Amino acid sequence: QITLKESGPTLVKPTQTLTLTCTFSGFSLSTSGVGVGWIRQPPGKALEWLALIYWDDDKRYSPSLKSRLTITKDTSKNQVVLTMTNMDPVDTATYYCARLLWFGDLNWFDPWGQGTLVTVSS
Amino acid sequence: SYVLTQPPSVSVAPGQTARITCGGNNIGSKSVHWYQQKPGQAPVLVVYDDSDRPSGIPERFSGSNSGNTATLTISRVEAGDEADYYCQVWDSSSDLYYVFGTGTKVTVL
C-alpha cells in the first residue's frame, strides 16, 4: 500500500519561511521513473502545481514561484521537503504531496497525501 | 505557459451521462489525466493517459482526447460521483511542466 502524508505548521506569519515534509511509504524515490511533487489548493480554488523532485534528484519548479521554492529529498528517510520563503496571505492553501509516475511523455500523480492546510496570517 | 480550460460546472441527473471537457491548444498531442476530488478530500486519479483507468476505478469512467479537447465521460452517474474534476497534462515545451485544468464541479441533480 502506498501512502503519503504531509506535515508542517498550520499557521505561519507573513514573511516567514514555510517548511513542509512529505513522508511516504510503499515506494522508493530511488526507483527509476518515480518522483514526488507538491501541489496546493487555495480555499475554493483550483489545483496549482508547485515543485517536483525526480528519482535522479532532478528538480522542477513552477516558474511563478521558482525564486521562493526549494525541494529536497532524503531517500533513506522516505521524505521530501518543500520550503517556501517570504510567505504571504495569498499563499494560504491546502498543500498536497503526491507520487509522480514518469514514463517519458506520460507523467501523472497517484496517489496523493491527505493534504495540510496552511494559513498565513499575522 | 500552457492553459487548460474546463467548464465551471456540469449538472446531470442520476443514471444519465456527464461529459466534462478540457480544452487546450493541440491537447490531442498530449497525454491527459483526470482527477476526482470530493469535498474535504484529496484528489484521486480516475483516468490516466487519456483513457486508461487505474485499478479500482469503475468502468463508468472513460476518457478521450483529440484535437483541442479532451473529455472525461461518466456513464450511469451516481450520487457518489458528485465532486470536482480536474484534467492535467505534462507540458515539456514550457516552464510550467505540470498543468492542471481550472476544474469542473459535477452536480448530481
CB contact under 8 A, A49 and B96: yes
CB contact under 8 A, A106 and B90: yes
Tell me the C-alpha distance between A66 and A20, whole Å.
16
CB contact under 8 A, A106 and B31: yes
Chain B residues near residue A62 by CB distance under 8 angstroms: 96
Report the gap between the CA of B95 and the closest CA in chain A (Å): 6
Residue among B45, B92, B102 minimizing CB distance to A109: B45
pLDDT digit string (tens) for chain B, length 109 residues: 899 999 999 999 999 999 999 999 999 999 999 999 999 999 999 999 999 999 999 999 999 999 999 999 999 999 999 999 999 999 887 776 899 999 999 999 9
Chain A residues near residue B54 by CB distance under 8 angstroms: 110
Average pLDDT for chain A: 96
User: How far is CA A28 from each of CA A32, A75, B22, B44, rounded to the nearest angstrom?
Assistant: 9, 7, 32, 21
* Cβ B34 vs Cβ B46: under 8 Å: yes
pLDDT, tens only, B71-81? 999 999 999 99
- Whether A27 has a pLDDT exceeding 90, the answer reads yes
pLDDT, tens only, A66-79? 999 999 999 999 99
Report the gap between the CA of A22 and the closest CA in chain B (Å): 14
Tell me the C-alpha distance between B43 and A96, whole Å.
9
SS3 B74: strand
Percent helix, strand, coil in chain A, to 5, is 5, 55, 35
CB contact under 8 A, B96 and A111: no
Q: In the predicted model, what is the mean pLDDT of residues A23-39?
A: 96
What A62-67 contacts at long range (C-beta under 8 Å, 24+ apart), as own/partner pairs, is: A62/B96, A63/B1, A63/B95, A63/B96
- Output the pLDDT for position B18: 98
The pLDDT-based confidence of A104 (bands split at 50, 70, 90) is confident
